[in-house]
Amino acid sequence: MLTYKQQLRRGSSPPLRFMNNNIEQLIQFLRDFALANADSFEPEQIQQLNSSADALANLDKAVDELVVDRDWFESEVDRITDERDEARVDYCRQQAAIVKGMATPEQVANNLNWDCFKQEDGK
């Protein structure tokens, strides 16, 4: 099973967007239903339907804002991880230079359980 981040990188739709589309449909249904039944329902019932639609619209907006925040945090984690890995690579190269041929930078990283030397495919 792919992680959420892997799904995003492969271009698949995030699960929250699917849920968000369903909420938009439900909001429209509630508004249409209230309008179509205004003559046969009590005013309080119509108000409850409209209030429910409003509450769902607010929830929909909050979900959109959370998705934007989540995406920003994920990009920050990626950026900071890249910076950390660059610093680790520099450290490993300096340590390898100090021991002059007794260890490669990659061996220094392996001894420290660091994965800062990425393969060409980013893994």
Domain ranges within the chain, ordered by starting residue: 13-111
pLDDT tens sequence for the chain (123 residues): 555 555 555 554 455 555 567 888 999 999 999 999 999 999 999 999 999 999 999 998 998 899 999 999 999 999 999 999 999 999 999 999 999 889 999 999 999 999 999 865 555
Question: What is the per-residue pLDDT for 17?
Answer: 54
Q: What is the pTM of this model?
A: 0.59
Q: How many angstroms separate the CA atoms of 6 and 46, rounded?
A: 44
pLDDT at 15: 54
Say what angle helices 15-36 and 43-99 make with each other, to 10 degrees.
170
pLDDT of res. 63: 87
pLDDT at position 22 is 85
